[in-house]
Structure 1
Amino acid sequence: MKKLIIYMLPLVMVALSCSSYRYHTTKMTGRDFSQFHTYGWLPPVDSLSKSYFDNDIAQNNIMETANRELEARGLTYTKDNPDLLFRYIAIVNNKSKPLYAPAYGFYPWGMWGYNPWMWGGWHMGWNQPAGKTLYRAGHIIIEARERKTDAVIWQARGTGEVRTPEDAINKLPEVVAQVMAQYPVPPQTASGR
């Protein structure tokens, strides 16, 4: 039983590390984002990739969460000449990642040859490339375009593994909230309004 746990623990850790989203952002330097007070929405970008997010439920989850996050940052929605125009891009595509096999055995001179600080003995690890495995990656990208200049001045992205369409859609509010957390203006507190 102990051996089974020792062999399964790395698999569980790899599976858990793959299920989380990673967030990245970029912005145009020299911009004072606190000067923007109103916002509107551009239509979402059509993607050529297979998308799980091409339905009313997913679009509602994205828009509702993004609107709530923008309003928490002091921005007001308007259709008439907003300061910023936001757009989202939702993509699901195929990716591959390396698949590793266990490496174990008796190494009398250390794991990779003679090493005076690593004595011989049985060693176990996950360092032998065994191939690649395919998975679906979901990307939620939100960008802000300054209406006056028509330039994208901020963009943030959340990327993670998508296991099922239902889980991906249900997780959208959490992912969009984390993407919007990258916006250069922090949420206002109740006393700050």
Structure 2
Amino acid sequence: MLLSACSSIEIFKENTEIPIAKPYKSFVIINQEVGMRGFSSQFIDQQVQIHLQEALEANGLVYDREHPDLVIRYTSNEDPRKRTSTNYAPTYPYWGYRVWDPWAYSNYMNSLNNGQKTTSYELVQVIVDFIDPEKDKFLMTLTGVTEVSNFKTKDNKVLKTVDKIIVDFMEDLSIASE
């Protein structure tokens, strides 16, 4: 549980066609307007829509479906994977213990743990496109990548990834407006 809470979220900036040249005051989330799902889970998709809107509004932007300055579209890649690790436990007995105490721990008794261990996880990419509707070009695409090892924590990890994407976008927006 502790390890899954500490896994990192990496953000990659891609697909920049034009620089941020003007202050953006309003936005629209295309997924919400046309009913396009960005995640396989409808629950997570709804959470991301709400979270994106609230985070952008908290940063001073206004939701405007008629004449937005900024169009936002999101999608995801949810890729189930497996990780194999090798257990390098020594295969020799602890000399003296097995001779004098047959119940003492021995790696020979626990030979099933020697070898490989496979764990399942999901690599989740949250991809958010920021588009200038006036020029019909990408300002940027921000991709957040994280690993989810427990489905119960997937929605929290996705929302934390969305938070990091919004923080990166708002930093770029504030740098461009200076």
Distance change (3 Å), C-alpha of 1:132 and 1:34: farther
* Counterpart Cα distance in 1 of 2:119 and 2:152: 22
Q: Are residues 1:32 and 2:39 paired?
A: no
Relative to its length, the structure with more strand (as a share) is: 1
The one-letter code sitting in structure 1 at the alignment partner of 2:11 is H
Residue 127 (structure 1) aligns with: none
User: Secondary structure, in 3 states, of the residue corresponding to 1:35?
Assistant: coil
Unaligned runs of 5+ in 2: 92-115
Q: Are residues 1:169 and 2:173 paired?
A: no
User: Secondary structure, in 3 states, of the residue corresponding to 2:71?
Assistant: strand
The one-letter code sitting in structure 2 at the alignment partner of 1:88 is Y
Residue 41 (structure 2) aligns with: 54
The one-letter code sitting in structure 1 at the alignment partner of 2:27 is Y
Moved more, 148-157 or 78-87: 148-157
Q: Are residues 1:152 and 2:138 paired?
A: yes
Residue 80 (structure 1) aligns with: 66
CA-to-aligned-CA distance 1:18-52 (integer Å, 9 cap, x gap):
952322232637623552211111127667xxx5x
What TM-score do the two structures reach when normalised by structure 2?
Answer: 0.63
Unaligned runs of 5+ in 1: 1-11, 106-129, 187-193
CA-to-aligned-CA distance 1:88-144 (integer Å, 9 cap, x gap):
112311235463443879xxxxxxxxxxxxxxxxxxxxxxxx697653211211110
Q: Give the one of 174, 179, 185 matched to 2:173.
A: 185
The one-letter code sitting in structure 1 at the alignment partner of 2:149 is R
RMSD: 3.3
| Number of matched pairs | 145
Q: Give the one of 1, 4, 7 matched to 1:20.
A: 7
Give how far 1:185 is off: 2.7
What TM-score do the two structures reach when normalised by structure 1?
Answer: 0.59
Answer yes or no: is the 8 Å Cα contact 1:19–1:161 preserved in 2: no
* Counterpart Cα distance in 2 of 1:79 and 1:46: 18
Q: Are residues 1:143 and 2:129 paired?
A: yes
* Counterpart Cα distance in 2 of 1:67 and 1:73: 10
Relative to its length, the structure with more helix (as a share) is: 2
* Counterpart Cα distance in 2 of 1:163 and 1:133: 8
Q: Percent identity?
A: 17
Answer yes or no: is the 8 Å Cα contact 1:86–1:144 preserved in 2: yes
Shift >4 Å, 4+ stretches: 44-47, 130-134
User: Secondary structure, in 3 states, of the residue corresponding to 1:94?
Assistant: strand
Residue 100 (structure 2) aligns with: none
Q: Give the one of 49, 57, 63 matched to 1:63.
A: 49
Distance change (3 Å), C-alpha of 1:90 and 1:83: same
Structure with greater contact order relative to length (CA < 8 Å, sep ≥ 6): 2
